[in-house]
Amino acid sequence: MTATRMGRIATLAAGAVVWFFAAALLWRTTVPADLKLPSLNERATFGAKLVRDAERYERFYYLLWFLSTLVALAALVWLVRRGPRLASSLGLGRVNAGIITGVVVTTILWAVSLPFIYLSAWWDRRHGISVEPWGLIAFAPWLELLGTTLQIFLVLAVLLLLAKRFARYWWVGGAAVILGLAILLQLGLPYLARVDTKSPSPQLAATIDELERREGTGDLVVRVQDVDDQTTAANAYTVGIGPSRTVILWNTLLDGRFTRGEVRFVAAHELGHQARNHLWKGIAWGTLIGLPLLAAVAFLTGRRGGLRNPGTVPLALLTLTVVQLVLTPFENAVSRRYEAEADWTALKATRDPEAAKGLFVGFVEDLSDPQPPGWAQAVFGSHPSPLQRVEMAEAFRRMR
């Protein structure tokens, strides 16, 4: 074995040790490791009819996802075969040809996804989840295409320039650039998210101020977004790091379906994400996952000249898609741990497990399956199932 090969093996081994150490630190949460959830009956908890309706509603989406994924993979495989000919026919430099090839691939993938997008919208309208008019539904994917095209243009421009300069090790610099972009987006996007929002009521604002003190988050910007002209579903989310930390509550949460205690728990949950630094940890996980992901792209495209060859761009996108599919269950497992921690933080802040249980039962009325099959939870479950969230609230109640 040559000294060069031994050095590479040692570097990989050291990198793997650092990766697993960092992952182990990020995996830790404040949810008690010995917390035992009671085993509740989903039909008794949510009602047999609601469970049947939610299961039927979700089964359609499982089928839709399966078919759309097969179609997208088939299109990518076809494009991998056509990529070299397409890139060479453009008559451009390597970087420009690679960017245009990537834009063409993205546009084709968008086109084959359109039937599934419209079927999804039809299903939501049929069940009263979406109230958007068909005119807006038909136009929305075109705006999405514009945004996706801009993203693929910028990302490919950076990666192809790095590949041109650094050949085999472009992926290291690429990971650093993507990390920087993720931080900039988390700093900047919250300001856009606040556009066309309004302040919460003085009563709700006072409740949130109290929760901020209890959870130690400091002052955050909390806004209410009007979405009742688009959906009947209720939701909330938090975005931003540092000075841009923001919590957005949908106005459908405040339409009278949920009690004050339930709305208070939602706010505490979103503040819990900020209290436990989940957005920073999400960026860290993105880096840990992104490095091997880009390394896999570099390895597979390297057999065809690497990203310096613009004809390998479809292969790079196919590799990203396949590896991302493989990693999805792991990514969802991480997300579920953080969502569970945010629930636990909210339970400690509100001391109101009954409100938590009422909230999760209310969420199922939007036809969210209270206990999906194990494979579906692994593939789609970014949150604990509603039944598991009710069980955590019950476990907290029994500890008091």
Contact 237, 336 (CB under 8 A): no
**Looking at residue 7, what is its pLDDT?**
63
**Looking at residue 305, what is its pLDDT?**
80
Distance of alpha carbon 47 from the chain centroid = 30
Specify which residues 248 forms β-bridges with: 223, 237
Contact 225, 197 (CB under 8 A): yes
Residue 205 domain-assigned? no
Q: What angle do CA 143, 146, 150 make, to 5 degrees?
A: 145
pLDDT along the chain (400 residues), means of 10: 65 82 95 93 93 94 97 95 86 85 93 96 94 92 90 87 82 87 92 95 96 95 96 95 96 94 97 97 93 87 82 91 94 97 98 95 88 95 96 92
**Looking at residue 6, what is its pLDDT?**
66
Give the Cα separation of 359 and 390 in Å (integer).
9
**Looking at residue 286, what is its pLDDT?**
92
**Looking at residue 187, what is its pLDDT?**
94
Residue 374 domain-assigned? yes
Residue 278 domain-assigned? yes
**Looking at residue 1, what is its pLDDT?**
56
Residue 69 domain-assigned? yes
Contact 284, 26 (CB under 8 A): yes
At 223, the amino acid letter reads R
Residues in the chain: 400
Instruction: Report the SS3 class of residue 366.
Output: coil
**Looking at residue 377, what is its pLDDT?**
96
Give alpha helix (H) positions in 31-133.
42-46, 48-89, 94-126
Residue 86 domain-assigned? yes
- The values of phi and psi at residue 286, to 5°, are -60, -40
Per the structure, the complete domain to which residue 51 belongs is given by: 43-196+266-399
Total number of domains in the chain: 1
CB-based burial label for 395 (10 Å; 0-12, 13-18, 19+): middle
Give the Cα separation of 231 and 215 in Å (integer).
31
Residue 169 domain-assigned? yes
* Of residues 108, 116, 107, 106, the one with CA closest to residue 68: 116
Residue 275 domain-assigned? yes
Residue 175 domain-assigned? yes
Q: What angle do CA 163, 169, 171 make, to 5 degrees?
A: 75
